[in-house]
Homo-oligomer: A and B are copies of this chain.
Amino acid sequence: MPKVGMQPIRRAQLIEATIRTINKYGYADTTVSRIARTAGLSVGIISHYFGGKDSLLEATMQHLLFSLHRDLADNLREASTPEERLDAMIETILGPEQNQSEVVTAWLAFWAQVPFSDRLERIQNIYNRRLLSNTRHVLKQLGVTNRVDTLAELIAAFIDGYWLRSVLSHQVADPSEARAMVRDMIRSHL
Contact = CB atoms under 8 A, between A and B. Distances in A.
A26 B113 contact: yes
Interface in A115-160: 115-116, 124, 128, 150, 153-154, 156-160
A149 to B, nearest CB: 11
Interface stretch (A3-11, A67-75, A77-85, A104-112): A104-112
Interface stretch (A12-20, A58-66, A163-171): A163-171
Interface residues of A, number: 40
B108 A112 contact: yes
Query: How many chain copies?
Result: 4
B168 A128 contact: yes
Contact of A161 (B26, B27, B115, B159): B159
Interface of A: 25-29, 105, 108-109, 111-116, 124, 128, 150, 153-154, 156-165, 167-169, 177-178, 181, 184-185, 187-189
22 contacts: A25-B116, A26-B112, A26-B113, A26-B116, A27-B112, A29-B116, A111-B112, A111-B164, A112-B112, A114-B168, A115-B167, A115-B168, A124-B168, A128-B168, A154-B177, A154-B178, A156-B165, A157-B158, A161-B163, A164-B164, A184-B188, A185-B185
